[in-house]
Structure 1
Amino acid sequence: MSNKNKQIAQNTLFLYLRKIIVIAINVYTSRLLLQMLGVEEFGLYGLIGSIVILFNSLRSLFASSIQRFINVEIGKQNQAKINKIFSLGIKIHTVIAILFFIIVEIAGLIMIPDLNIPSGKENAAYWVLQFSIFTAIVSIMTVPYDALIIANEKFNAYAVISIVEYTLKLGVIFLLIFSPVQRVIFYSALIFLVTLLVRFTNAIYCKKTFKEIAKYSKVKDDSLMKEMTKFAGWQFLGNACYSIANTGVNFVINIFGGVTINAARSIAYQVQGMIEQFTSDLNVSFRPQIVNNYAVKDMDKCLQLVFFSSKATFMITIILTFVIECMTYPILQLWLDIVPENAVIFIQTYLLFTLIHSFYYSIDILFKASGNIKLYQLYDAAITFLNLPLSWISLKLGFPYYSVFIIMSMLEFINLIIKLFLCKKLLGFNILTFLKVVLTRVIICIIIFIILFTIHHHFIHIQYTPLSTIIFATGYGLIGSVLSFIIMFTNQERKKLISILKKQT
């Protein structure tokens, strides 16, 4: 077993330990926050504060722009350039933060008066907007430090810092009883302070661990600056359009349904976000070595990792999707106690998008490893942005609120097909090999899980208690894990995975 495979397994275990703890904290945080704020203020924060949630979930993706350049130099064993890349990354993300502030500040102040906000909450909406913008800016400025940690595969530190961050976010909810202003404003302010603290923690860790590499230097390299700026710019365009589309759909739903609908949308996004964090964490552990192998032109190893990460990502996504689709209401009832109207159907339709989107990660890593991302990000941004007008039209025509998630899924499927053809055109990616190695197994897996879901829907009719919910959810999770593990991987891959896991436990 190669050291690289062992490293991937070790990194994945660190990230999943982090994720299990973070999700446990998030589950309790959401329940407690809903109780402390009430449905209206929870929906208000879900509407205005969604900018923070999106940028936090995309932070590792933003970090991948700088990480890509660092990993290329690690692959070439060229240490001299890493501090230069880090310093230029600080400059670039400072400019991005300033542009973000100007654009979102103007757009937010224009849009808020036209939103469907309950009387007496308008002032709170403005304050939540301000704190959300500053929180997102701090997250953007943390990106170069995240990139340095991930590129050097210091996932133990990455996990610990994340756990501390989410623990603090849970802790601030208990302070809401002492709020001198509206609780949603106080909560937004405290989240900003937590994010600021995490930013300084990352900086201190990097400076202590990487010494001179993590020290900002006034370097001048016009050629490298241009290359990094272009790469980060295209990366920002793609991620920003994804953020704008998701946040924009939230605003569209608000205009037609009000903040109570946003509360349901917030719950659906949290569920989808938890699943995507699982899958993104898996790909964070694969990313450094995919980039390293691409940098040294070992394309066989690079594509093996891409195919393997695609299958692993889909497997995790479909297991979680299957459990949640079968048990949506009892899980929500156990989790939140108060289940917002429309939350169940929102989650069930949104998970279709999540399943299709699971293929995004490995393809995204491959494009960024190549550095050839202009067309990729342009197509991705254009298709993603179509969510806004199409969602508006569907709700204007009287379609149900959940139709916006069906539209998102359809557009994401089109997006996936275009990405595969771009891979073929720009990177010499063999689509037939991908179909044979990955998609045939995916199709078989989907058919089997649809049959299982149909059996559950028609034959399982019980009054769920907290204990029976846990038992059924765990049982379905185990069934899904065994079946998907057998279907998605070859016998050799299964032996390899088991062997890696045994050596890491």
Structure 2
Amino acid sequence: MDSKKRIIANTAAQYTKSIVNICLSLYSTRLILEALDVNDYGIYSLVGGVVSIFGYLANSLVVTTQRYISYYHGAGQKGSVKQFFANSVFIHLLICLAIGIILISIGQYVIGHFLNIAPDRVTAAMFVYYVTTLMLITTIATTPFKALLIAHENIVYISVVEVCDGILKLALAFVLFCIGMDKLIFYSLMMMLVVTLNFLAFSLYCFYKYEESHFSVNLKIIDKDCIKQITGFAGWTSLGMFAGLAQTQGTAIILNKAFGTIMNAAFGIASQVNGAVRFVSTSILNAMNPQIMKAEGSGNRKEMLELAGKESKFSTALMLIVSMPLIFEMPSVLSFWLKTVPDNTAMFCRALMIAFIVDQLTLGLHAANQAT
């Protein structure tokens, strides 16, 4: 399959997956909000958001791993592809260990003193904190395998796994109405199970499908130059990730300190709505970025720049088509979607969506910079 047909096929797979997952996610959120109540939903959004601060590092590593694998695929250097994947797995394991130690050691202070949580829910919030820490570690461990799939442009398999993920979360939302234990604790445990299944789906498939994932576990796989390149690239990529972090989780913490967990529920729902419409950007990015990296790796900079320009244009245009009706009709959409709409949710939804549209104008330039 040539590059243009592959981009079309992968974009179609991403769009289909995203539309299905949006429907599943939005309905799941309605059920979860009803089952947990506004306060517990706010606690989960807040605690999960605090832990996910370290998840931005994982996102930068996805970009980094995928970049190097795609680049050296384009250059025809299969040995380098295997070397970079093996060292990426090693780096991710070290990061999992470090983040686990840091988050567990500060847990008591974060939940008991830093965040604004009702005294009778501190114990449940503490449990959620530790479970979401394990979820983050598992997600980071999944990163190199997902990056390998993206580099191979196997977007169809990623889409299938993510649709199954959405179906499982919807099933979990229904189960919440039937259990007698603390629903917030049960919900966090089941979310951990879903994340673990995702890890197994990605890692086992890569071991079965791709030769690059087969390497012996010993100190010989560690290459200092390779690690230096990966960590250096990830370090610069992290700057943009932390800017996004300040915009989202920094805002969530400030809202919590000033207004409490009910305001976090409103902001959490707005973030989910914004995440749902981001499928346009994700679809274009996952379909075109590997081609951009491979074009640069093969020395064809003209094609790389053309693809980067198209990525910015298409992503912005499609985001406008999806977002503008929602921005104008947001109060009606929220009332139709949720039984109980927390105050200020529509305002947060509109602000986040407008900010994201502006960000799409330079999406292709990010990919071009990463390629070079």
Closer/same/farther in 2, CA of residues 194 and 57 from structure 1, 3 Å limit: farther
Within 5 A, what are the aligned runs for 1:249-288? 249-288=251-290
**So what's the TM-score if we normalise by structure 2?**
0.92
Structure 1 residue 40 corresponds to structure 2 residue 39: yes
Within 5 A, what are the aligned runs for 1:72-471? 72-112=71-111, 113-179=113-179, 181-210=181-210, 212-217=211-216, 218=218, 219-236=221-238, 238-240=240-242, 242-243=244-245, 245-370=247-372
Aligned-residue offset at 1:222:
2.0
Q: Deviations over 1:233-258 (max 9, x none)?
A: 33345425533552221111011111
1:491 alignment partner in structure 2: none
Closer/same/farther in 2, CA of residues 364 and 188 from structure 1, 3 Å limit: same
Amino acid at match of 1:318: L
Aligned-residue offset at 1:209:
1.1
Aligned-residue offset at 1:203:
0.9
Closer/same/farther in 2, CA of residues 27 and 54 from structure 1, 3 Å limit: farther
Q: Deviations over 1:267-304 (max 9, x none)?
A: 11011111223212211110001011112222211111
1:497 alignment partner in structure 2: none
Q: Does the aligned pair in 1 maintain the 2:145–2:206 contact within 8 Å? A: yes
How many Å separate the matches in 1 of 2:246 and 2:90?
Answer: 24
Amino acid at match of 1:329: P
Closer/same/farther in 2, CA of residues 137 and 277 from structure 1, 3 Å limit: farther
Gaps of 5+ in 1: 371-505
How many Å separate the matches in 1 of 2:6 and 2:137?
Answer: 33
**So what's the TM-score if we normalise by structure 1?**
0.69
Q: Secondary structure at the match of 2:334?
A: helix
How many Å separate the matches in 1 of 2:59 and 2:192?
Answer: 19
Q: Which shifted more, 330-339 or 305-314?
A: 330-339
Q: Does the aligned pair in 2 maintain the 1:57–1:277 contact within 8 Å? A: no
Q: Secondary structure at the match of 1:121?
A: helix
Q: Deviations over 1:154-185 (max 9, x none)?
A: 11111101111121122222232454542111
Aligned-residue offset at 1:56:
7.5
Q: Secondary structure at the match of 2:176?
A: helix
How many Å separate the matches in 2 of 1:200 and 1:244?
Answer: 31
Closer/same/farther in 2, CA of residues 243 and 135 from structure 1, 3 Å limit: farther
Amino acid at match of 1:278: V
Q: Secondary structure at the match of 2:37?
A: helix
Q: Which shifted more, 109-118 or 142-151?
A: 109-118
Q: Which shifted more, 51-60 or 195-204?
A: 51-60
Closer/same/farther in 2, CA of residues 109 and 241 from structure 1, 3 Å limit: farther
Q: Deviations over 1:75-103 (max 9, x none)?
A: 11111222221111101111222232334
Amino acid at match of 1:172: L
Q: Which shifted more, 328-337 or 222-231?
A: 222-231
Aligned length: 368
Q: Secondary structure at the match of 2:145?
A: helix
Amino acid at match of 1:117: I
Q: Does the aligned pair in 2 maintain the 1:290–1:305 contact within 8 Å? A: yes
1:67 alignment partner in structure 2: 66
How many Å separate the matches in 1 of 2:21 and 2:52?
Answer: 14
Closer/same/farther in 2, CA of residues 250 and 191 from structure 1, 3 Å limit: same
Q: Secondary structure at the match of 1:77?
A: coil
Amino acid at match of 2:156: N
Q: Secondary structure at the match of 2:303?
A: helix
2:21 alignment partner in structure 1: 22
Structure with max Cα Rg: 1
Percent of residue pairs identical: 27
How many Å separate the matches in 1 of 2:246 and 2:95?
Answer: 15
Aligned-residue offset at 1:54:
7.3
Q: Secondary structure at the match of 1:137?
A: helix
Q: Secondary structure at the match of 1:124?
A: helix
Q: Deviations over 1:408-429 (max 9, x none)?
A: xxxxxxxxxxxxxxxxxxxxxx
Closer/same/farther in 2, CA of residues 56 and 97 from structure 1, 3 Å limit: closer
Higher RCO (CA 8 Å, separation ≥ 6 residues): 2
Gaps of 5+ in 2: none
Closer/same/farther in 2, CA of residues 305 and 58 from structure 1, 3 Å limit: farther
Q: Secondary structure at the match of 2:120?
A: coil
How many Å separate the matches in 1 of 2:356 and 2:239?
Answer: 21
Aligned-residue offset at 1:151:
0.4
Q: Does the aligned pair in 2 maintain the 1:71–1:288 contact within 8 Å? A: yes
2:10 alignment partner in structure 1: 11
How many Å separate the matches in 2 of 1:131 and 1:356?
Answer: 35
Aligned-residue offset at 1:352:
2.0
Amino acid at match of 2:213: A
